[in-house]
Structure formats: structure tokens, C-alpha cells
Amino acid sequence: MENISTALEGLDPIAAMQYLAAEFPGAVAFSTSFGQEDQVIADMIWRANLPVRVFTLDTGRLFQETYDLMDLTRARYKKTFEVYFPETASVEKLLQEKGPNSFYESVENRKECCNIRKVVPLNRALQGVKVWITGLRAEQSENRQALHALEWDEQRQLYKYNPLINWSYDEMINYLQEQNVPYNKLHDKGFISIGCAPCTRAIEPGEHPRAGRWWWELSKKECGLHG
């Protein structure tokens, strides 16, 4: 890992992803939730024609605006991306036993839902992957500030590369505007971090960027994908 970290030093995100794709041919994948950070990275990958697999997780409870952005992104770049869904039997069992809104009742129930709808499909999507590219930024939350551009995911036994980890919110917005990158219109309505519709709300001025996620609970505001 130290050798790879050294090789990535001083490289911009596109050059770094090019290096990783060359070092691990056919085993580099980018997971997008179509948030602002992810749209920046997708634009970089597709404009530079990088040999990086792009996939997304459809939890079955996304905002319509997110689906609209998926269509807009496909039309803009003329590129396809893989879509992973939860296992049908697991979702059916959850709803039969606990109903459609069990995640509001406890952190444990919410994490169970996230595990079924996000974590299990993600692990399936990452099978055979050696480098997982993500849109994490240190500014997003306190528990992400200690992250580095290159991390080792012990649980999944792969490298995690965070090309925008040190980018500011303004840098990200400037890139979207300069490159005319399509983005989710909910961002214009106070939605900073966008996940599933029942679990996401707009934030008020001055609120923490992650305050709109699982707003009814006191937790680390994570779903299990990144910790």
C-alpha cells in the first residue's frame, strides 16, 4: 500500500485513476449514488475514457429526482452503468415481519434496512474488485476527516481510493459548474446528502451537511457502506 500511496502523491484525480486502472486492469470500480461528488468523479472517468467500471445501488426507495438524474446522465455521456438491487427475498421478509417503515423505530432496524438494501448489494458488486473508488470528502462528517486518499478496506480486502477526499464543497461546486455536469435538482432545495427518500430531508441554513440523513436518530449518520 505504501508504494501505491507514494505513486499517487501529486497526481490529480484523473491521473491517479489512470494509474490505478493500469496497475489493476479490469479490477477498478466506481460506486456512484449520483450525488454531487459522484457526478464529478463520473465526469472525470467518462471524459477521460478511463477503463473503470461504474455501478450504482438502487435500494428501491430512491427519490424520483435521482432516477431523473440517472436518465440525464446516460443521455449526457452516452455511457451505461451497472445497477445492483437488493435481494428480493430479503426485502419481502423484512416488510412482512416489520412493515415498510421499521427503520424509524430504532437504529438497529434502520441499519438492518441499510444492510439489506445497500451493504449486501454493494458487497456483491465489489466481488473481484481490487480498487473501489468512492466520492467521500473529509468535510462531509467528523468520522470522515481522518480518512486518506488511499485506504485499505480490511473487511472487503481491497483498496479504497477517495479522489475528492481533500476537496472543499466550493471546489466541488465550481467543477460541476465549469464542466456543466448534470446534478440532482434536490440539491437546489436544501438537500445536500441525498439517500433514500424516506430517510432524507432538506437541511436548514447552518445545519451540518449530514443532518438531513436519518434526522430522527442520534448516530454517526452512516449506513454501513463506509463504516
Q: Which residues have a catalytic role annotated?
A: 223
Which 8-state DSSP code applies to residue 186? G
Helix (H) or strand (E) holding 31: strand 28-31
Q: Helix (H, G, I), strand (E, B), or coil: what is residue 25? A: coil
C-alpha cell at 159: 483498496
Residue pair 190/202 in contact by the 8 Å Cβ criterion: yes
> Could you give the angle at the alpha carbon of 98 between the alpha carbons of 97 and 101, nearest 5°?
150
Cα–Cα distance between 218 and 205 in angstroms, integer?
20
Whole-number Å distance between alpha carbons of 46 and 6: 25
Q: At which residue does the C-alpha cell 462528517 appear?
A: 141
Left, alpha or beta for 201 (phi > 0: left; psi -120 to 50: alpha)?
beta
Cβ atoms of 86 and 46 within 8 Å: the answer is no
Q: Evaluate whether 28 touches 52 at the Cβ level (below 8 Å).
A: yes
Handedness of CA 62, 42, 160, 24 (dihedral sign): positive
How does strand 28-31 pair with strand 53-57?
parallel
